[in-house]
């Protein structure tokens, strides 16, 4: 059983592209790790893999061992250094994190993977059967947009593997569905919720991403992509609503350039003052490449949101066992 | 057994030009593709229940290709809108391009939505609740409400019993529908056919390319947002276009900069940390068509199914979009002022 080391499998789905599935997957994984769980991330977006970029491990390559692929390690289990000023998270014990993506197997990062359905199906199956995961509390599976080949194969394989008598109970825990607030996105994501209904996948909750942008100049929040659509949809379909995630340019910068998030004094996001404990120096940022992504993420304004979200999801999952 | 990736990453671009035979079982793991030259003859075909069918299937070009070419003979220009990445504004740009073309009352425009699993065009065009009318000579496109009534739309959305129904289809079924859109839809005399695509480089893209190859495509417009996560996927799409021999008309940078309505401060929400689309265009030696700023009203116009260009003609975003449309026309070798006459 290739997935026998894994306690819980969580899918991250969305009918719409570019709503932040990979971004949300990354943050869920980082937060789970910060809560001390061991986490794996499997990226089955074959024609547009983003996970390697998000974790800053684009140059890594997957090793082949007897029995399959060895996933790329992002960080091992360890105690993070306590943060100097205003530290609430001191000497935190974090769980290990590893990733698997087709991106690690490509010769060049700009190579297109031009595959039709059957080949994608075969690759998804290979990812589910031939990856040697370490012992994991959670495996997050990041998916491409839509409801087609990759999704059908993923579920066929998962349902077959997780319902066998020797797999842990409720191993396929369910799906987190990501949307943005505008109606165009909601209408595609409703299709994904119907897909979950049809295939019997439990929806753990809806996350509304890109809900509002706080102007770094005047701290006014603009609803760039409208607002409230995700919540309304969750109510309509009777599934939990996990929360709204605003656009945080500091998070984008953390991913793109690896700089530790710093906020100007007085910035308030979701009613919480995240204003800097260090003076904001224009352009200059305090992050160095030597620090772990997960360490720097603790300073991101989105971390408390995800911390609460993960606690809710984990409680929900454990409540069913 | 350790998995192997030694097999080629690419598939045969000419393969889908052959008719797909009817299979008795799903394609196996290393299937060369039932339409390919090696169908029924490859090593992996041994023992496959489809082998005999694939091997004996008529070889030669797909007999439907000439029908598609005949049907599209009266279409003057065909433009693909592509992006490796989802949610960067392909459909939004496709609708804008169509609306802009339609501003000239002498032009007739068709807009075809090949995103089968996530169709957005009908909602953006305000024709979400329409259904397809079937006549003796084929399916008629749905005519969108616009000033000149010269804009026809086709999408899978018009065929769904419920508007939230999921379309859970594998590749061959999606390809079949795209073929029908090209072969059975009565497009009539069109000046422009704009083809909106889903993200990625897979079935839909290969099919559109092979079905349209014989009748000729003017080129593809690539859409990206400024950040590297998006550009990374767009590079893959450029690679796809080159390998498939599709001409790239240029690249548009969408959601480029956001002006706070409160203080007019401009922020880069999606930071172009690697130089954005203009740098990519330069590196890859393709035309850069322009930047369209992020304006929340564009999203709102799309949600309500109205034309942003008509609703906010004086906004900076509108000016930017008109500029991009003119550049597209230029790249196609047309007179930009004829394609999109200046107002007033």
Q: Look at residue B9 in the predicted model and tell me its pLDDT.
A: 47
Q: Is A191 annotated as a binding residue?
A: no
Report chain A's mean pLDDT, rounded to a whole number: 88
Q: Is A300 annotated as a binding residue?
A: no
Give the strand order in the sheet containing A72-75. Answer: A72-75, A97-101, A39-43, A136-142, A6-13, A172-179, A203-208, A241-244
Flag whether residue B186 sits within 8 Å of chain A, measured between CB atoms: no
| Confidence band of A285 (pLDDT split at 50, 70, 90) | very low
DSSP per residue over B236-300, as a string? HHHHHHHHHT--EEEEEE-S--EE-TTT--EE-SS--TT-HHHHHHHHHT--EEEE--B-HHHHH
- Of B116, B232, B171, which is closest to residue A116 (Cα–Cα)? B171
Residues A169-180, mean pLDDT to the nearest whole number: 94
Burial class (CB in 10 A: 0-12, 13-18, 19+), A143: buried
Cα–Cα distances (Å) from B324 to A282, B146, B237, in that order, read 34, 21, 20
| Confidence band of A249 (pLDDT split at 50, 70, 90) | confident
Q: Look at residue B27 in the predicted model and tell me its pLDDT.
A: 72
Flag whether pLDDT at B192 surpasses 50: yes
Flag whether pLDDT at A276 surpasses 60: no
Q: Do B225 and A18 touch (CB under 8 A)?
A: yes
The more confident residue out of B49 and A277 is B49
Query: Which residue in chain B is spatially nearest to A190 when comparing CA positions?
Result: B164
Identify the residue among A112, A142, A246 best suited for mutation to test binding to B, counting B beta carbons within 10 A and taking the highest.
A112
Q: Look at residue A190 in the predicted model and tell me its pLDDT.
A: 95
Rounded CA separation B3/A71 (Å): 13
Beta strands in chain B (DSSP E): 75-82, 109-113, 133-135, 138-140, 142-143, 151-154, 190-196, 219-224, 248-253, 258-259, 266-267, 288-291
Taking the CA of residue B334 and the nearest CA in chain A, the distance in Å comes to: 31
Flag whether residue B256 sits within 8 Å of chain A, measured between CB atoms: no
Identify the residue among B299, B301, B306 best suited for mutation to test binding to A, counting A beta carbons within 10 A and taking the highest.
B299
Residues B335-339, mean pLDDT to the nearest whole number: 91
- Of B324, B323, B229, B320, which is closest to residue B272 (Cα–Cα)? B229
Q: Smallest Cβ distance to A15: which of B85, B117, B302? A: B117
Q: Look at residue A92 in the predicted model and tell me its pLDDT.
A: 83
Taking the CA of residue B299 and the nearest CA in chain A, the distance in Å comes to: 6
The more confident residue out of B171 and B147 is B171
Residue B331, Cα to own-chain centre: how many angstroms? 18
Contacts of B81 in chain A (CB under 8 A): none
Domain spans in chain B, listed from the N-terminal domain onward: 33-62, 65-339
Residues B196-208, mean pLDDT to the nearest whole number: 93
Q: What value, to the nearest 5°, has the Cα angle with vertex B216 and ends B215 and B218? A: 145
Rounded CA separation A172/A109 (Å): 32
Q: Among all chains, which residue has been given the structure tokens 């404990």?
A: A277
The CATH number assigned to the domain with range B65-339 reads: 3.40.50.300
Q: Do A249 and B267 touch (CB under 8 A)?
A: yes
Q: Give Cβ neighbours of residue A319 (< 8 Å, ≥ 6 apart).
A: none
Flag whether pLDDT at B5 surpasses 50: no
Identify the residue among B229, B246, B261, B317 best suited for mutation to test binding to A, counting A beta carbons within 10 A and taking the highest.
B229
Predicted TM-score of the model (pTM):
0.89
Q: Do A249 and B198 touch (CB under 8 A)?
A: no
Residues A129-154, mean pLDDT to the nearest whole number: 94
The more confident residue out of B57 and B75 is B75
Taking the CA of residue B120 and the nearest CA in chain A, the distance in Å comes to: 6
Rounded CA separation A305/B294 (Å): 25
Q: Look at residue A289 in the predicted model and tell me its pLDDT.
A: 54
Flag whether pLDDT at B287 surpasses 60: yes
Q: Smallest Cβ distance to B258: which of A116, A213, A253? A: A213
Token duo for residue A307: 């911390």
Residues B253-263, mean pLDDT to the nearest whole number: 88
Residues B136-144, mean pLDDT to the nearest whole number: 91
| Confidence band of B273 (pLDDT split at 50, 70, 90) | confident
Q: Is B84 annotated as a binding residue?
A: yes
Q: Give Cβ neighbours of residue A280 (< 8 Å, ≥ 6 apart).
A: A262, A263, A264, A265
- Of A300, A219, A297, which is closest to residue A265 (Cα–Cα)? A219
Q: Do B265 and A247 touch (CB under 8 A)?
A: no
Q: Look at residue A240 in the predicted model and tell me its pLDDT.
A: 96
Q: Do A215 and B174 touch (CB under 8 A)?
A: no
- Structural domains of chain A, with CATH: 6-320 (3.40.50.300)
Rounded CA separation A211/A309 (Å): 16
Flag whether pLDDT at B3 surpasses 80: no
Taking the CA of residue B169 and the nearest CA in chain A, the distance in Å comes to: 5
Q: Is A218 annotated as a binding residue?
A: yes
Q: Among all chains, which residue has been given the structure tokens 């010269």?
A: B150
Q: Among all chains, which residue has been given the structure tokens 């290739």?
A: A2
Q: Smallest Cβ distance to A48: which of B199, B262, B299? A: B199
Taking the CA of residue B244 and the nearest CA in chain A, the distance in Å comes to: 10
Identify the residue among A23, A26, A47 best suited for mutation to test binding to B, counting B beta carbons within 10 A and taking the highest.
A47
Cα–Cα distances (Å) from B7 to A44, B31, B177, B269, in that order, read 19, 12, 30, 40
Flag whether residue B297 sits within 8 Å of chain A, measured between CB atoms: no
| Confidence band of B8 (pLDDT split at 50, 70, 90) | very low
Identify the residue among B15, B164, B210, B279 best suited for mutation to test binding to A, counting A beta carbons within 10 A and taking the highest.
B164
Beta strands in B50-155 (DSSP E): 75-82, 109-113, 133-135, 138-140, 142-143, 151-154
Q: Smallest Cβ distance to A225: which of B30, B227, B299? A: B299
Q: Do A256 and B227 touch (CB under 8 A)?
A: yes
Q: What's the pLDDT tens digit per position in A35-76?
A: 999 999 999 999 999 999 999 999 998 888 888 899 999 999
Chains A–B, number of C-beta pairs less than 8 Å apart: 246
Token duo for residue B270: 């999606």
Taking the CA of residue B292 and the nearest CA in chain A, the distance in Å comes to: 15
Flag whether residue B5 sits within 8 Å of chain A, measured between CB atoms: yes
Contacts of B274 in chain A (CB under 8 A): 256
Flag whether pLDDT at B17 surpasses 60: no
Q: Smallest Cβ distance to A110: which of B11, B119, B235? A: B235
Please state the φ and ψ torsions of residue B241, each to the nearest 5 degrees: -60, -45
Range with the poorest average pLDDT among A161-165, A202-206, B21-25, B249-253: B21-25
Give percent above pLDDT 70 in chain B.
90
Taking the CA of residue B265 and the nearest CA in chain A, the distance in Å comes to: 7
Residues A266, A219: contact at Cβ < 8 Å? yes
């Amino acid at each position: 059983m290739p997935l026998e080391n894994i306690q819980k499998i969580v899918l991250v789905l969305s009918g719409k592209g570019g709503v932040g599935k990979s971004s949300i997957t990354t943050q869920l994984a980082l937060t789970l790790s910060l809560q001390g769980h061991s986490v794996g991330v499997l990226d089955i977006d074959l024609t547009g893999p983003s996970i390697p970029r998000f974790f800053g491990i684009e140059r890594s390559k997957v090793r082949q061992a007897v029995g399959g692929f060895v996933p790329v390690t992002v960080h091992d289990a360890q105690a993070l250094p306590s943060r100097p000023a205003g530290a609430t998270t001191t000497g935190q014990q974090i769980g290990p994190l590893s990733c698997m993506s087709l991106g690690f197997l490509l010769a060049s990062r700009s190579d297109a993977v031009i595959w039709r359905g059957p080949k994608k199906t075969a690759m998804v199956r290979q990812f589910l059967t031939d990856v040697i995961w370490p012992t994991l509390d959670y495996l997050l599976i990041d998916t491409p947009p839509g409801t087609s080949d990759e999704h059908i194969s993923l579920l066929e394989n998962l349902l077959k593997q997780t319902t066998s008598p020797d797999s842990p109970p409720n191993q396929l825990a369910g799906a987190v569905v990501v949307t943005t607030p505008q109606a165009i996105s909601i209408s595609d994501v409703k299709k994904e919720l119907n897909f979950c209904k049809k295939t019997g996948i439990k929806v753990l909750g809806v996350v509304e991403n890109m809900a509002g942008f706080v102007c770094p100049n005047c701290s006014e929040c603009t609803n760039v992509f409208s607002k409230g659509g995700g919540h309304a949809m969750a109510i309509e379909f009777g599934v939990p609503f996990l929360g709204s995630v605003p656009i945080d340019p500091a998070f984008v910068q953390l991913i793109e350039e690896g700089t530790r998030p710093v906020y100007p004094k007085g910035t308030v996001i979701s009613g919480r003052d995240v204003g800097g404990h260090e003076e904001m120096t224009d352009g200059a940022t305090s992050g160095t490449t030597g620090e772990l992504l997960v360490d720097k993420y603790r300073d991101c304004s989105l971390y408390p949101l995800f911390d609460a979200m993960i606690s809710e999801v984990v409680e929900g999952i454990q409540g069913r066992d | 057994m350790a998995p192997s990736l030694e097999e080629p990453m690419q598939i045969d671009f000419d393969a889908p030009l052959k008719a797909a035979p009817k299979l008795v079982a799903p394609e196996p793991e290393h299937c060369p593709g039932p339409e390919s030259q090696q169908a029924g003859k490859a090593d992996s075909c041994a023992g496959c229940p489809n082998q005999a069918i694939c091997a004996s299937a008529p070889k030669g070009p797909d007999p439907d290709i000439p029908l598609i070419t005949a049907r599209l003979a009266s279409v003057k220009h065909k433009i693909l809108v592509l992006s490796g990445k989802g949610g960067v504004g392909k459909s939004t740009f496709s609708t804008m391009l169509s609306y802009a073309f339609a501003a000239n009352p002498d032009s007739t425009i068709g807009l075809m939505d090949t995103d089968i699993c996530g169709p957005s065009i009908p909602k953006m065009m305000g024709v979400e609740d329409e259904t397809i009318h079937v006549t003796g000579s084929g399916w008629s496109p749905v005519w969108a409400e616009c000033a000149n009534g010269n804009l026809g739309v086709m999408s899978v959305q018009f065929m769904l019993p419920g508007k939230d129904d999921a379309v859970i289809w594998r590749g061959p079924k999606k390809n079949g529908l795209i073929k029908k859109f090209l072969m059975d839809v009565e497009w009539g005399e069109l000046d422009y056919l704009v083809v909106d695509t889903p993200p990625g480089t897979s079935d839909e893209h290969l099919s559109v390319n092979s079905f349209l190859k014989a009748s000729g495509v003017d080129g593809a417009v690539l859409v990206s947002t400024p950040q590297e996560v998006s550009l990374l996927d767009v590079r893959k799409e450029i690679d796809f276009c080159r390998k498939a021999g599709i001409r790239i008309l240029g690249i548009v940078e969408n959601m480029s900069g956001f002006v706070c309505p409160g203080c007019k401060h401009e922020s880069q929400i999606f930071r172009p940390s690697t130089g954005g689309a203009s740098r990519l265009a330069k590196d890859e030696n393709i035309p850069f068509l322009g930047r369209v700023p992020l304006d929340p009203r564009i999203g709102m116009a799309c949600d309500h199914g109205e034309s942003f260009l008509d609703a906010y003609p004086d906004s900076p975003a509108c000016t930017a979009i008109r500029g991009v449309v003119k550049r597209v026309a230029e790249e196609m070798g047309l007179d930009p002022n004829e394609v999109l006459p200046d107002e007033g």
